[in-house]
Each structure stands twice: as C-alpha cells, then as structure tokens.
Amino acid sequence: MSVTSKEAVTAAVPVGDEAPLRVAVLVGSVREGRQGRAVADWFLGTAAGDEGLHFDVIDLAETPLPLVLPGWGGAPGPEAAAVLRDVSPRLAAADAFVVVTPEYNHSFPASLKNFIDWHHTQWHAKPVGFVSYGGLGGGLRAVEQLRLVFAELHATTVRDSVSLHGPWSGLGEDGTPRDAAVCAGAAKGMLGQLTWWARALRTARAERPYAG
C-alpha cells in the first residue's frame, strides 16, 4: 500500500491490468473537533501492507469549494477553479473511492454533498466503499443515503461497509475504534469487495468506455 496527499502526481502511478488500484479516500467532515481525519488514518493503517492499492487522501477541510455552483454551461470562479484543478484530476484518475463520513441528523455532511455535486463523470462506472462513524447507528443512515446519491452518478457502491459506533462507546478519544480486531476485519472485508469491483470495472472501462 502507498498513500499520497494533495501534492501527489497521479500520473506517477502506472496503469494496466496488474497495476496498483488508485483509491481516493474522501474525508467528508469539516466540523471543528471532528474525528474524521483520525478515522481515515486508522483505516489507512488497517489497509497497510496491501501492495495492490495506492491511496490518495482528499480531505474536504482542505478543499474549500463554494456552495454556489455555476449555472448550466457556466464556468467556476477563480477560487473554485483553483481547487478543482487540484482535486478533479485525482478523482478522474481514481479506480475506486472510499468515503469516510460521520452521521449528522440522520444524514451525511453538507460539505460532502457539495463536493460530490461539483463533479459528475469522475464517479462514473467506479466502485465506492464507506467508512462511517457516529452514534448508536455507527453512521449507517448516512451511508444508506449516500448509496442513493452515488447510484444517480452511475457509481457502484459495495455491499459491505465499515461502521464505527461512537464517539462515546465505539471510538476512543483519538478517533480509533475500541474494538480494533472486529473493525479491522470489517475494513478488510470491504476492501476485498472494493478491489474486486475496481479491477473488474477498470478492465471494462478500458475495453468499452462507459457511455453514461
């Protein structure tokens, strides 16, 4: 496994049937005092050792896209254009996505929906896995709503997800799971499904470009 950040050059990762899969990890929360980045770091640590995966972390707290989108056919303003020049090619280059999201009021953060809405074709015919956290439901209601969003964007969400309950029960103060063994097993299971779909869909896109 390797991990890059916003300074990474996506073209440095080779492409081919046996090349490592490019997985963009989206940290969805931008709230002060959030645990999202700690949860993402735990997930990346759990995935360490898999040389078939190349992770690129996109932290939405460092990706300030405005809430006002341009009109149909319009161009983004200069500040939004600068952010998109950084993140949009990384999404386009990704073979798969992992979304790290909390649950706010039975749903996912507005920052995550806004980021998703700034893009379209970058999601097409690619798999999406989820790492959720928060409350007794472990963020599962946020995940179920995100499945509907990504279906509209022609993406395929994998069946199994990672659900971390807390922060008062399942997550420690540092944002890592208290039941590390069970949560690590869930993460590896989700990654197994994500890897299968990512390889299958990468081959399919190469042989027959998606026409969605």
pLDDT tens per residue, range 171-183: 677 767 777 788 8
Given this model, what pLDDT does residue 204 score?
97
pLDDT in tens, 73-92: 899 999 999 999 999 999 99
84: domain CATH number?
Answer: 3.40.50.360
* Reported pTM: 0.89
Domain of 28? 2-6+17-69+79-207
- pLDDT tens-digit readout, 130-185: 999 988 888 999 999 999 999 999 999 999 999 988 655 566 777 677 777 888 89
The DSSP 8-state label assigned to residue 165 in this structure reads: -
Structural domain count, the chain: 1
Strands (E), the chain: 2-4, 21-27, 53-59, 96-102, 127-133, 156-157, 162-164
Residue 143 belongs to a domain? yes
Residue 63 has pLDDT above 90, yes or no: yes
Give the Cα separation of 209 and 47 in Å (integer): 30
Residue 74 domain flag: no
